[in-house]
């Protein structure tokens, strides 16, 4: 993984349920997901529950598309509407404070 921006997918291999997200740094974002999930403190309670039930080996992090940071939310919405990921409950209209802090340094 690299520091490029774009849209990513987290897939639960056990039941094929998905989560779509956007980031300005794939590696850092996956690390933050892992950190929160391993501690049992992920903001997405449904993703956390599945992680706790199935374990880390049941999940795959993959890049759907690299894109300019100005297109992140538009492209994320596209993939949410197209893939209809079960762990996403609404189209995100904002970036997390962590992502905003990285974005501001670019």
pLDDT tens digits along 29-50: 999 999 999 999 999 999 999 9
Phi, psi of 88 (to 5 degrees): -95, 130
The interaxial angle of helices 45-54 and 26-39, nearest 10 deg, is 70
pLDDT tens digits along 16-29: 999 999 999 999 99
Residue spans per domain, the chain? 6-105
In this prediction the pTM is 0.82
- CATH top-level class of 6-105: alpha beta
Q: How far apart are CA 20 and CA 11, in angstroms?
A: 9
């Amino acid at each position: 993984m690299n520091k490029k921006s774009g849209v990513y997918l987290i897939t639960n291999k056990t039941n094929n349920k998905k989560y779509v997200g956007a980031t300005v740094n794939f590696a850092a974002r996956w690390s933050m997901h892992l950190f929160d999930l391993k501690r049992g403190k992920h903001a997405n309670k449904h993703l956390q529950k599945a992680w706790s039930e199935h374990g880390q080996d049941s999940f795959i992090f993959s890049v759907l598309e690299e894109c300019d940071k100005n297109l992140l939310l538009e492209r994320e919405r596209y993939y949410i509407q197209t893939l209809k990921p079960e762990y996403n409950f609404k189209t995100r209209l904002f970036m997390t404070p962590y992502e905003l802090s990285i974005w501001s340094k670019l």
